[in-house]
Structure 1
Amino acid sequence: MNAKEHTKESNIGRVIVGRIPRGVDLITGIKEICKEYSIKCGYISMFIGSLESGRFIYAQPGKESKIGFKYSEPVDLEGPLEMLSSQGLIGLDVNGDLSVHLHMLVSDKYMRVYGGHFVEGGNIVAATGEIVIHEVENVELNRQFDEQTGFELFKVKAV
């Protein structure tokens, strides 16, 4: 591996601390915060709260895939769900729109834990979604198709 091909040196810019209120989709809420503060590249260091429902995908075997696994169809969980841990990246898609890559663990009313890649739509905040977003400077994260894996991945570019 050539590390410099896949990594770039960066600085942490502003830190945005806040919450996403009841009834808002998590990823839509993250995008609204980023638009309000003109954040195009960053990471979510902390995100906790509760959900009325959750929607995520997860890795599963897939022989037809280039690398032996694929992602499931979206799983919809009914709440209440407790957000136990989450982290993510914020960048831009091929159209220049905000793209959020959010991974999270949640527990249901039976204390069963589920986790995966949470996708937009269906992740509705129940009481609150408390979040910390760190802006990243001197780089761009551009989500695009990766030939080697067959997935849309963030590519890092120095600016």
Structure 2
Amino acid sequence: MQTLPLRLIPGDDLRAALEDAVRAHALPAAFVLQGIGSLSVAQLRYAGVDRPAELRGDLEILTLAGSLSADGAHLHMSVSDRDGRVFGGHVAKGCIVRTTAEVLIASLPGFRFSRETDPRSGFPELVVRPR
């Protein structure tokens, strides 16, 4: 396992920046070990809902985890608002960094991740192959 620490800056799209990092560093299989920071906008898709909910304001990233491949990301995140209410779900594009996001990515050089539609779920699901 190899690690890649990242710091995202204000205005970055969290999901897009992580997908870009995977491509820029040619990581065949990676996952997010942990992420913290803040957002001004969070786009979270809740379980069983087709469209993401948009949260706006001063949001703290409490947890961030998921898998990353050249085919895209599958990320889940929990955030809290200024009143301490916690929201969590699937990370969609449009999560905008407010002050910083500090993310630690782990790369698994012996594997290759891809996302292929699974007929049972109907979604692009993770496929793990040895390299």
Normalised-by-shorter TM-score class: over 0.9
Partner residue in 2 for 1:68:
none
Q: Does 1:133 align with 2:105?
A: yes
Deviates more, 1:33-42 or 1:106-115: 33-42
Runs of 5+ unmatched residues, structure 2: none
Specify the code of the residue in structure 2 equivalent to 1:107: S
User: What TM-score, normalized to structure 2?
Assistant: 0.93
Q: CA deviation at 1:134?
A: 0.6
Letter in 2 for 1:88: G
Out of 97, 102, 106, the position equivalent to 2:75 is 102
- Partner of residue 65, structure 2: 87
Q: Which is worse superposed, 130-139 or 35-44? A: 35-44
Question: Which residue is equivalent to 1:37?
Answer: 25
Cα drift, residue 55 of structure 1: 0.3
Q: Does 1:116 align with 2:94?
A: no
Residues 1-20 of structure 1 correspond to what in structure 2 (within 5 A)? 12=1, 14-20=2-8
Q: 2:14, 2:96 within 8 Å by CA — same for their partners in 1?
A: yes
Residues 84-123 of structure 1, C-alpha deviations (whole Å, 9 max, x = no match) = 0111100132xxxxx0111000001121100000111x20
Matched residues, number:
131
The answer to whether the 8 A contact 2:32-2:67 is kept is: yes
Q: Distance in 2 between matches of 1:86 and 1:105?
A: 7
One-letter code aligned to 1:24: D
Q: 1 CA distance for matches of 2:121 and 2:26?
A: 31
Whole-angstrom distance in 1 between the partners of 2:98 and 2:113: 30
Q: Is contact 2:28–2:109 with CA below 8 Å preserved after alignment?
A: no
TM-score of the superposed pair, with normalisation by structure 1: 0.77
